[in-house]
Amino acid sequence: MPTSQRRWPLWPWLVLTVAGVVVTAVAAIVGTATSSDRTADPGTPTRVTVTATQFQTSTVTATVTVAPPPETPAAALLDGLHEVGTEVQAGIYQTTGPSGTNAGGCYWTRTDAAGGIIDNGVLGGPGTITVFAEELVETAGCQPWLKVD
């Protein structure tokens, strides 16, 4: 007559394993959140920011006055987005290079009216760009671009 050994049920082991994983995950999340919020000086109090949102419906009326575009387009490009032909003249512009406000250097891009990139680049020194009517030109971190033609 064969003897069979008693089998232990698996469910207690499964429950304990899942509980252990959950406790470990919660401890890791709480430990990460509190350790990243600590300052180097233990004498400094911890700052906690609480944001509360209140849902209400209200009507706000605001009047915004927008300056009209210049009568004659400018002959220089400053940092920002410009419409060629309306805000700045089409032509060849030169810059002496980065202004130091952008860690990556002097960035420029030419796009079409739909936002598609025509050309772009980053300068570490002096540079030249040619822009045409109905394009958009954007510069960031550059000395002023002066029209040369």
Q: What is the pLDDT of residue 60?
A: 72
Task: Report d(CA 43, CA 56) in Å as an integer.
Answer: 41
pLDDT of the chain, 149 residues: tens digit per residue:
556 677 767 777 778 888 888 888 777 776 665 544 444 555 556 566 666 666 667 677 777 776 776 677 888 888 999 999 988 999 999 999 999 888 889 999 999 988 899 999 999 999 999 999 999 999 999 999 999 97
Residue 42: both structure tokens together: 């233990």
Number of neighbours of residue 108 by Cβ within 10 angstroms: 24
**CA end-to-end distance (rounded Å), the chain:** 107
Strands (DSSP E) found in 53-112: 76-77, 80-83, 91-95, 106-111
Q: Identify the burial level of 147 via C-beta atoms within 10 angstroms of its C-beta, where 0-12 means exposed, 13-18 middle and 19 or more buried.
A: middle
Q: What is the pTM of this model?
A: 0.53
Q: What is the pLDDT of residue 10?
A: 75
Residue 149: both structure tokens together: 């033609």
Give the residue extent of every domain in the chain. Answer: 76-147
CA–CA distances in Å: residue 64 to residues 9, 67, 68, 148: 73, 10, 12, 36
